[in-house]
Amino acid sequence: MTPAKRIGRYPVIREIGKGAMGTVYEGFDPDTGEKVAIKILRAEHLGDHRADSASARFEREAQATRRLRHPNIVAVREYGEQGRIKFIAMEFLNGRELRQLMRERGRFELDDAVFVLLQLLDALGHSHQHGVVHRDIKPSNVMVLQGLQVKVMDFGIARIESAAFTQMGTLLGTPTYMSPEQMRGEPADGRADLWAAGVMLYEMLVGRSPFAAATPVAVMQNAMALEPAPVSSLVAGLPTSLDAVLRRALARRRDERFQAASEFAGELVKAAAAASDAVDLDLALAPLATPAPAVPQAPAAPVVPQAPAAPVVPQAPAAPSWVEPSPIDIAIEPLPRPAA
């Protein structure tokens, strides 16, 4: 019998994803029997410059994620090398990317959007407290599990305090979610991640990006110059208090934005409470917990049958109106700073 293929100490079950520079496999931990996702990098077929860049990003992802222990951040078990292959073994996630869920829904109900974003902000707050700025927060880097539990992934372009990695002459990120300071080629701190979270909140509430355009450069120009339409003017029932939260989250000057993820979360909960009592302030600001068992209720009185309602004619789903370029490193000149 041929022995199972292994990457490091992990037997491989199957391939679950493949990209230009690597592959992701499903495997398992032989010590615990738990499933793992094994991400490998094969950069030997790239040119020297691209191979060095890919290798640095891969190592950065492993280093950044291993510093973090949070229920809303994917857990890394091990970083290792096997011959010319580098690999990261991480927890196996049975879910879907938030981007896929956004395409299916069009837009989220307020309570769901707030629930998702509060988990993201909790993860970002933990990351920033440990000196890690993600720099590429976007829906395709957020996995949604059962019950709308969120896991932040892909710290490949993270900035790590006191790390030796540098990036010069290239804008790293995805244009739809890049902050104005990133677009100008300036160093990014945690407030750049909070800008991206604000863009995602707007998208979930409205069903499109606040800066949607046909090209990456046009998206960046919109983000640098346009004021997004207030969400309360686009979706009936959303309170104007959300407009104020988003206006601050998407302020072009970072010193006018929320200065910490916890501050963003607190203001979001207050704004959402203006429209819905279903947003629980304690839940919003506390880690996810296993729900208590339901208390048995007395049987309800029998319901008198009603005449069936008229059938609803199904409507064709609207095409998504946002435009998101592929997740690439954008090698273009930074946008000029506005004149004083």
Catalytic residues: 136
- Residue environment code for 140-162, b if the CB has 16+ CB neighbours within 10 A, otherwise e: bbbbbeeebbbbbbbbbbbbbee
Number of helical H runs and strand E runs in the chain:
10, 13
Residue 237 burial by CB count (10 A; 0-12/13-18/19+): exposed, middle or buried? exposed
List 6's β-bridge partners, or say none.
Answer: 11
**Distance (Å, rounded) from C-alpha 214 to C-alpha 328?**
16
CB 181 within 8 A of CB 194: no
Residue 246 burial by CB count (10 A; 0-12/13-18/19+): exposed, middle or buried? buried
For residue 155, what are the CA distances in angstroms to 86, 138, 212?
Answer: 16, 11, 25
Q: Retrieve residue 61's tokens.
A: 């992802």
CA-CA-CA-CA torsion for 246, 248, 252, 256, nearest 10 degrees? -170
What is the DSSP secondary-structure string of 315-330? PPPPPP------S-EE
Cα 197 → chain centroid:
8
To which H or E segment does residue 134 belong?
none
